[in-house]
Structure 1
């Protein structure tokens, strides 16, 4: 049926009027008047489909632009946090404010990089979304040197300040009080989420905390320990990327079929007790095998890290991540994040050499515990008692933070609360994502809306398969996620279709193959075993 021309013109005129009204609302908003000493640096109306450019963004952050899918009002503010530090925060306000929800995004590493992809992701689903730079710009730690105030911003103040201001500013902009507050982050962002629940239990109602960098001081010591173990890339016993590929093949030979399926994915790496001795060179063979010294290196990498007092500093690295870690922690190069943390925060010694790292350095990190950054809560009782919910996850092939640390945190909380898994699950649910690297990537079904950017956001916005939708339903409908369905796209490209899916289980349940087509998620069950 052909619509009358007058009707079509009226509809287009109305849409144009609404768009013009929101644009005017945006350009008339003066958020800096509500924040002491704040400076407005950007205020612009952005239409759906725009690719926003960030010419002044620190190049090390690697985010020169960001496409947006909805009409929004973009606000950027410079906000002082002390007499010698400040944060830059970006608040993106979508035209349609769904459920009067606000969302904050975390950061990564030791960086001060705004995660624009999470701003776009949040506004796509109607959240007033904020992200901040943690009090400094770029991925390095130079700005921490001799400035404890910047360290405070990094440890907690940047996130707390930005979400506190967002609640107020969003309510003023839309003329309605916000209803619920959410958080999304991975790695350092995971630590920020857990830390916020501990330090400021009323900041968020729902938190997505992926691959959390908790027990932060010990984590950065553990990471620093790899360089002395592997040796320099020029050392005689160094294991290069090609040999790590051989080791990975042997890991899969020993452990891939423990779950009953040969698919290149170790469903539960805690069952894999890898023996590198199987690759020991013999009978004069020197290619694609390990020398005795190299066997010792591999065994050290896959062993827990203990202090001189015999107490655990950090759990062992899990096997299965060799292809990813070969260019990172196993590369025969200093781990830059740990090096900067020791140089500019712990030691104030800009020429410190990570090759000298020893147990004394490891113990020093936790003794100093700058700005109480450790993040190792015992109960999270104030957060849970007000109805807060945490959805956390960790990839089984994480190449930067061992996936064994997240069960350790879960068990630590259960012990601190004297709670059973059923009781802990009332507010804290942890999902092990088999075949996923650090926050994303890997051979597993790893896309489940856990962070902005493709392909994680290529899944439907439904609680069963999208972490952001799941945390909203848990908070607002008390419908907790039983499993989290992950999707593996062909070539990790949502436009090429789905390769397979898997229902990832909440800890301590284990995903168990029951027979049939392993690509069918219904042929796996979550069991206590």
Structure 2
């Protein structure tokens, strides 16, 4: 043995090769299905039916949890794309009889890789996140099929994801804001241990929009519970984005001529595309160099303005001064003369004149007539959600119109706004416990997002850099800002393996750098682009196909 070691020490290249071989073997072993756990699960899945998880093992107050059903789903079952697994459903009892219970689902694959993944919700939640579906940007496979034990919940109320009427109940708001995350996680891990006879080696969280906010929430509130987090388009400043919606609605409907019609919305997008598309070196329908485009904003606005700033005719798609005021209010964001939770007093605006298309289903709406209550289609997603927030969360008065809500001087509602921002938001900049735990975060946001401002995500990231320094932030976080991507739609919709990148970082210490995204937008399906670390963007090198990521480089603005 000593002779062998001396031989290796005299040949460093052979020594490095042997270390690499051992590392690969260890990684393969770590990801191999756990045979003992699989055998244990096959015997015990049915036994989980009716099991009780006592309140004492749940980290936040509940009246315990009960398994409603537990059964094996065969690999050959109709519609099953996840392989064989044990499907467990149940509920976590609320403290008050008047509060809805938290309904959950846990899925334990027969071929388990030793990892658990909690999956976040969307909108106002209200439906059970089953954990059996693909992740948003990896449509070809599901985490469950890859061997992850998956779980999710309805966040503690039943209803359409766009409805806010559950907010009449304070305990339900707490569950929606953060309570369901901890409660569901603790119940799920107890059931995983019951099912496999052991706890997971790694536990992850992944979500987008509301689920992205939930990802930041678990980092800030429960940092020792998760080894890694994926947070896409995170709605971290929940109160800010809702009040931003109120501001936009007031500009559109409380001021004469302020509503921006569909023709004008399309005119803005097409004008920006004409002026800014080539700033990244390629005419590919994607505005990648957002900062260069921002410098052209004055000339873009001037070209959009109607003569003398008057209202456009029926045949004209120019914008009046009142309509431009609405768009500039959306661009400027919201600044308040008081602070919400964690000292937050503003919500950064949107990239209105840098490639956001507000004419879609989550845009500014198509009607100059205000409905009561407002709807997404007629009056715009931002305003409809902002109005619902004021009615249900803040005033708790269904007859209250957000058009009359004074954001600068909310009076008796000021403390309510602060409390809600603390309960539902995820703006706490203290990541020290998560950093000490060794947790990793991958965050992604589309630069053309029309629902959640990408500039809020950038601002929060910059705040972390100021607080901890770039070396520390680089040790636990990667931020990717994707040009052309909106809120689930857009001229470029990236498909990439975020979960694989996160697991490799957590398990092997290999931090992700530039990644490759494959476009799944119907019109341009299959083209690829580099997914660059912020603040870089992909720039065409001037030769080769513009549909290949190989012909782009990540560069600084």
TM-score, with structure 1 as normaliser: 0.82
> Is 1:318 the equivalent of 2:351?
yes
CA displacement at 1:511 relative to structure 2: 2.6
CA displacement at 1:416 relative to structure 2: 1.9
| 3-state SS of 1:122 partner | coil
Distance (whole Å) between structure 2 residues aligned to residue 309 and residue 21 of structure 1? 57
Structure-2 residue corresponding to 1:307: 336
Worse-matched range after superposition: 75-84 or 328-337: 328-337
Q: CA 1:51/1:381 → structure 2, altered by over 3 Å: closer, same or farther?
A: farther
In 1, are the aligned partners of 2:40 and 2:195 still within 8 Å (CA)?
no
Q: CA 1:160/1:477 → structure 2, altered by over 3 Å: closer, same or farther?
A: same
CA displacement at 1:171 relative to structure 2: 1.8
Per-residue CA deviation, residues 88-118 of structure 1 (Å, 9 max, x unaligned), is 01001111111x1011011112222223365
Structure-2 residue corresponding to 1:357: 405
Q: Residue 94 of structure 1: which of 97, 101, 109 is its match?
A: 109
Per-residue CA deviation, residues 345-397 of structure 1 (Å, 9 max, x unaligned), is 22221222122233234966642336533311223010011110000000111
Distance (whole Å) between structure 1 residues aligned to residue 266 and residue 150 of structure 2? 41
Distance (whole Å) between structure 1 residues aligned to residue 192 and residue 320 of structure 2? 61
Q: CA 1:183/1:118 → structure 2, altered by over 3 Å: closer, same or farther?
A: farther
Distance (whole Å) between structure 2 residues aligned to residue 404 and residue 19 of structure 1? 45
Q: Residue 539 of structure 2: which of 512, 518, 521 is its match?
A: 512
| 3-state SS of 1:129 partner | strand
When the two structures are aligned, how many residues end up with a matched partner? 471
> Is 1:34 the equivalent of 2:63?
no
Q: CA 1:20/1:174 → structure 2, altered by over 3 Å: closer, same or farther?
A: closer
Written as runs of structure 1 = structure 2, the 5 A alignment for 1:400-415 is 400-415=451-466
> Is 1:525 the equivalent of 2:553?
yes
CA displacement at 1:126 relative to structure 2: 0.8
Structure-2 residue corresponding to 1:131: 152
Structure-1 residue corresponding to 2:281: 260
Distance (whole Å) between structure 1 residues aligned to residue 103 and residue 81 of structure 2? 20
Q: Residue 220 of structure 1: which of 220, 242, 262 is its match?
A: 242
In 1, are the aligned partners of 2:257 and 2:323 still within 8 Å (CA)?
no
Q: CA 1:309/1:179 → structure 2, altered by over 3 Å: closer, same or farther?
A: closer
Distance (whole Å) between structure 2 residues aligned to residue 195 and residue 407 of structure 1? 17
Per-residue CA deviation, residues 206-246 of structure 1 (Å, 9 max, x unaligned), is 100111111222122112222112228x9645222122111
Structure 2 residue runs of 5 or longer lacking an equivalent are 1-36, 56-63, 135-141, 368-378
Structure-2 residue corresponding to 1:434: 483
> Is 1:293 the equivalent of 2:315?
no
TM-score, with structure 2 as normaliser: 0.78
In 2, are the aligned partners of 1:324 and 1:437 still within 8 Å (CA)?
no
Worse-matched range after superposition: 34-43 or 77-86: 34-43
Structure-1 residue corresponding to 2:501: 470
Q: Residue 182 of structure 2: which of 152, 160, 165 is its match?
A: 160
Written as runs of structure 1 = structure 2, the 5 A alignment for 1:7-86 is 25-30=44-49, 32-36=51-55, 37-48=64-75, 50=77, 67-84=80-97, 85=99, 86=101
Per-residue CA deviation, residues 129-174 of structure 1 (Å, 9 max, x unaligned), is 11011110122121220x2111111111101111112222112201
Written as runs of structure 1 = structure 2, the 5 A alignment for 1:205-284 is 205-231=227-253, 236-273=257-294, 274=297, 275-282=300-307
Q: CA 1:167/1:218 → structure 2, altered by over 3 Å: closer, same or farther?
A: same
| 3-state SS of 2:152 partner | strand
In 2, are the aligned partners of 1:69 and 1:124 still within 8 Å (CA)?
yes
In 2, are the aligned partners of 1:111 and 1:141 still within 8 Å (CA)?
no
In 2, are the aligned partners of 1:509 and 1:528 still within 8 Å (CA)?
yes
Worse-matched range after superposition: 81-90 or 428-437: 81-90
Distance (whole Å) between structure 1 residues aligned to residue 548 and residue 133 of structure 2? 33
Structure 1 residue runs of 5 or longer lacking an equivalent are 1-17, 53-66, 449-465
Worse-matched range after superposition: 83-92 or 147-156: 83-92
In 2, are the aligned partners of 1:445 and 1:500 still within 8 Å (CA)?
no
Q: CA 1:248/1:41 → structure 2, altered by over 3 Å: closer, same or farther?
A: same
Q: CA 1:248/1:384 → structure 2, altered by over 3 Å: closer, same or farther?
A: same
Distance (whole Å) between structure 2 residues aligned to residue 341 and residue 376 of structure 1? 18
In 1, are the aligned partners of 2:485 and 2:491 still within 8 Å (CA)?
yes
Structure-2 residue corresponding to 1:105: 119
In 1, are the aligned partners of 2:244 and 2:333 still within 8 Å (CA)?
no
CA displacement at 1:321 relative to structure 2: 5.3
Structure-1 residue corresponding to 2:467: 416
> Is 1:345 the equivalent of 2:393?
yes
Distance (whole Å) between structure 2 residues aligned to residue 102 and residue 524 of structure 1? 36
CA displacement at 1:324 relative to structure 2: 4.4
Written as runs of structure 1 = structure 2, the 5 A alignment for 1:436-515 is 436-438=485-487, 440-448=488-496, 466-489=497-520, 491=522, 498-515=525-542
CA displacement at 1:479 relative to structure 2: 0.6
